[in-house]
Structure 1
Amino acid sequence: MCNFLIHSKTSAMGATVVLLAWACILSVVTAQDEVSICQSLDYRALTRELQNEHQCMILEKLQRDFEADKNSRESLLNDLVRRIDKLSKKISKLRKAKDDEREKPLKFSPALKGVPLIRDCHELLMNGITRSGVYSIKMPLGRILNVWCDMETDNGGWTVIQRRMDGSINFTRLWDDYTFGFGNANSEYWIGNENLYQMTTYYNYTMRIDMYGWDNDHAFAEYGIFFVSSEQNGFQLNIGNYRGTAGDSLNYHNDMKFTTEDRDNDKWFLNCAAKDGAGWWYKNCGYSSLNGLYIRDGNKTISPDGIIKGIIWFHWKWLYNYSLRKTEIKVKPTLAVKIERELFANVDDLPPTQEPPREEVEIEHFEEEVEEEIREEEIEQDLDIQG
């Protein structure tokens, strides 16, 4: 309508048309700025001294900018609050799921339906599994391992970390094999030093060594403190609080790094692992070597040159040349062992450790003694001949 009036010939329509045109223009301006205080009747009613339209428009713009900034900040704040609330709900759900997982295992062994996937054999025992055998455990960093679970010895729940029984597995291995483990959980195996490090870093374990002779005799050694350091520290052995019937043949090796043929960390001038064909926490070389060569009959472990070989635990038989028939190194949570000992006090009534028939000698000097005895026998035979 206004467009029509403006483009019409105002001279022909007279003063009325002009007035209508101006009224239309004013109505458009008023419609566009109806929110402006500067255009309102209240402002126009002020005296001229109080009217400053330019300043009024500046103040209006500042006010609009302030309101827009305020609304933007409030929108960002509300969005942030919503995001925090959403994140908080997710964290709560994760915590609840983690707590539920601790209270009740949610995953199960792929090999045995209904058998929970746990961190060690003691947790398996707590879930009602009482039969010894091969089960899957989950390491702290998520790796799944098959191990032999001893559910019979000393109230059960022992996770076997080393097993020797028939010589079916070669234990003459290099560093990487001993690091990640080898063998078969159904027969002979080594769980791996890296796995030992992870297990004993996250939880406190007691170590027990069961050993069997060739006359079906049995003895054990237990250490209430047992943990293995990282590979950077050479998988150093840390033990303490011995008890048992086999004698303490491992204390001599305490604080020693692991040694293999390709990683010599012992204190002997040669490599003990190369001599014994095994990996162990050797010193000079030591009183034990449970990963040594499997030798049947067990009493032929000294070669003609005096080198000792075999699965050795000196303080049981007090013999360097006796190789064991079977060994099992196993671990169990220290707290569980302590609670069981308190509940079954008679477990501590152990037969005394065998007394040594002679003074201990350093193993590194034993070979020299063998050679000396051989020389003395030869001298005696020469004297007999001369006599």
Structure 2
Amino acid sequence: MWTTTVLLLLLPHALSSTDKGQTRFNQSEIVHQDFSDAPVKGQKPLGGVKGQDTCSIPCDITVKLLRDEKHSICGQLQQSLLAFGRSTRKLIRDVMEEQQRALDVLGSQVTELMTKVQTLSFEVQRSNTELYSVKPVQSHGRDCSDIKDNLMSVVPKIPSGIYILHPENTDSSFEVFCEMDYMGGGWTVIQRRTDGLTDFKRPWADYVDGFGNLAGEHWLGLKKVFHIVNQKDTRFQLHIALVSHDDVTSYASYDDFQLDTEIQFFSIHLGRYAGSAGDAFRGYDQEQNQDTAPFSASDVDNDGCKPFCSISNRTVESCSAQHNHTGWWFNQCGLANLNGCSEDAEQNRGQRTHILWDTWTQNGIPHSIKSVTMKIRRIATNN
């Protein structure tokens, strides 16, 4: 019986702890004794079935057994919890490392994809430019007038198109659009407005370097124009061709056109006026005179409104801001801005485009201008 075996293992310890006056039992007798025949006095027999032999264990031994068993279970549980905690932390760490590796791989793939997209976009842009732009004619000259003079002896009819210029006393070559069939040809186009597809709301740097499509709307760039018109022993005419929304044409011409250096903000200098559109550059009085004015843009203000100008009973602090952040030779704003554009091209379609040449009027009202071209041509060489 399980009870007898437990008692045999525990009795030596229990008997050794009894008082000196306690009766000593013969161990051999206990081995052969059936505990079910001699229950301990004062204890209730284990089990509860009437008429069945029972065995009882002393209370202090039972308590000790339960306590030892509890401590053993608690120790095992504590060890299990510690092991579970370690394994859980390791699992979480492994998962986080795996996620980080996956994120690194994904980030690398995204970077590679963005590089491919940018490369593809550049290729598409270049293809579109090659497809829709006029190919440059590989002929060099100091300006379009010089190119015309050089080609007249070898080509019966010189076509308009994109040519390569290399003005003297400069280290740079650049492309321009040459008009070879307008009023005798030899014109270098420095600005063209036709369809509203090019945004002229630009900062100073863009107006210095140029922008747009040479075969369509564009601004050649103040630095390039400066190199052309400031060649030695040359003088250039400025011609402005205007077309209204009702297809009326007009022009303004100046027999001398010069620009100062960038340090002087490319101030404009104009000679005598001729034409049918009126001299809007000089206006009707000195306050409107834009001749000798430095160039201004949204981020470089040279318009003379310090601290502000009063125009038509309105206070204006910046002419560029007043003209929708475009660049021009403003002087207290003035009557001309061929780079002007409206806030919303769609909303103002069919109305005034804000390309201004306000001395060109009909019944006292300035024309609504649809397109304009500014071009220059060499007119004299002083020896």
Q: TM-score range by the shorter chain?
A: 0.5 to 0.7
Deviation at 1:143, TM superposition (A): 2.0
Tell me the TM-score normalized by structure 1.
0.53
1:281 to 326, 329, 332: 329
Deviation at 1:322, TM superposition (A): 4.2
Q: Give the letter for the 2:361 counterpart.
A: K
Alpha-carbon separation, structure 2, partners of 1:286 and 1:227 = 19
Residue aligned with 1:197, SS = helix
Alpha-carbon separation, structure 1, partners of 2:249 and 2:227 = 30
Residue aligned with 1:286, SS = coil
Alpha-carbon separation, structure 1, partners of 2:178 and 2:374 = 11
- The question of whether the paired residues in 2 share the 8 Å contact of 1:182 and 1:189 is answered with yes
Q: Please identify the structure whose Cα radius of gyration is greater.
A: 2
- The question of whether the paired residues in 1 share the 8 Å contact of 2:241 and 2:372 is answered with yes
User: What does residue range 26-41 of structure 1 map to in structure 2 within 5 Å?
Assistant: none
Alpha-carbon separation, structure 2, partners of 1:326 and 1:180 = 22
Aligned residue in 2 for 1:312: 356
Aligned residue in 2 for 1:171: 200
- The question of whether the paired residues in 1 share the 8 Å contact of 2:136 and 2:175 is answered with no
Deviation at 1:116, TM superposition (A): 2.1
User: What does residue range 86-125 of structure 1 map to in structure 2 within 5 Å?
Assistant: 115-125=138-148
Cα RMSD after superposing both structures: 2.4
Aligned pair in 2 of structure 1 residues 147, 213: CA closer, same or farther (>3 Å)?
A: same
Residue aligned with 2:241, SS = strand
Aligned residue in 1 for 2:211: 182
Aligned residue in 2 for 1:260: 297
Q: Give the letter for the 1:331 counterpart.
A: I
2:163 matches 1:132: no
Aligned pair in 2 of structure 1 residues 112, 271: CA closer, same or farther (>3 Å)?
A: closer
Aligned residue in 2 for 1:293: 341
2:258 matches 1:227: yes
Tell me the TM-score normalized by structure 2.
0.54
Tell me the percent identity. 30
Q: Give the letter for the 1:220 counterpart.
A: Y
Residue aligned with 1:135, SS = strand
Q: Give the letter for the 1:237 counterpart.
A: I
Deviations 1:195-247 (A, max 9, x none): 12222211321110011111211111110111010111111010011111111
Alpha-carbon separation, structure 2, partners of 1:199 and 1:327 = 21
Aligned residue in 1 for 2:370: 325
User: What does residue range 36-75 of structure 1 map to in structure 2 within 5 Å?
Assistant: none
Alpha-carbon separation, structure 2, partners of 1:122 and 1:189 = 20
Q: Which has the higher helix share?
A: 1
2:267 to 207, 230, 236: 236
Q: Give the letter for the 2:337 counterpart.
A: S
Residue aligned with 1:195, SS = helix
- The question of whether the paired residues in 2 share the 8 Å contact of 1:180 and 1:194 is answered with yes
Deviation at 1:298, TM superposition (A): 7.1
Deviation at 1:135, TM superposition (A): 1.7
Equivalent pairs counted in the alignment come to 220
Deviation at 1:166, TM superposition (A): 0.5
2:173 to 132, 141, 144: 144
Deviations 1:289-332 (A, max 9, x none): 1001165777634xxxxxxx710101112667644111110000
- The question of whether the paired residues in 2 share the 8 Å contact of 1:299 and 1:322 is answered with no
- The question of whether the paired residues in 1 share the 8 Å contact of 2:239 and 2:375 is answered with yes
Q: Give the letter for the 2:259 counterpart.
A: V
Q: Give the letter for the 1:334 counterpart.
A: I
- The question of whether the paired residues in 2 share the 8 Å contact of 1:120 and 1:138 is answered with yes
Q: Give the letter for the 2:140 counterpart.
A: L
Alpha-carbon separation, structure 2, partners of 1:213 and 1:323 = 6
Deviations 1:314-372 (A, max 9, x none): 11126676441111100001218x9xxxxxxxxxxxxxxxxxxxxxxxxxxxxxxxxxx
Alpha-carbon separation, structure 1, partners of 2:136 and 2:327 = 33
Alpha-carbon separation, structure 2, partners of 1:160 and 1:170 = 18
Deviation at 1:175, TM superposition (A): 0.6
Alpha-carbon separation, structure 1, partners of 2:136 and 2:245 = 35
- The question of whether the paired residues in 1 share the 8 Å contact of 2:229 and 2:259 is answered with yes
Alpha-carbon separation, structure 2, partners of 1:272 and 1:204 = 30
Q: Give the letter for the 2:190 counterpart.
A: I
Residue aligned with 1:253, SS = coil
Aligned residue in 2 for 1:209: 240
Deviations 1:32-67 (A, max 9, x none): xxxxxxxxxxxxxxxxxxxxxxxxxxxxxxxxxxxx
Aligned residue in 1 for 2:277: 246
Which stretches in structure 2 are left out of the alignment for 5+ residues? 1-134, 283-288, 309-316
Residue aligned with 1:117, SS = strand
Q: Give the letter for the 2:319 counterpart.
A: C
Deviations 1:81-101 (A, max 9, x none): xxxxxxxxxxxxxxxxxxxxx
2:182 matches 1:153: yes
Alpha-carbon separation, structure 2, partners of 1:183 and 1:281 = 20
Alpha-carbon separation, structure 2, partners of 1:208 and 1:142 = 27
1:193 to 175, 198, 222: 222
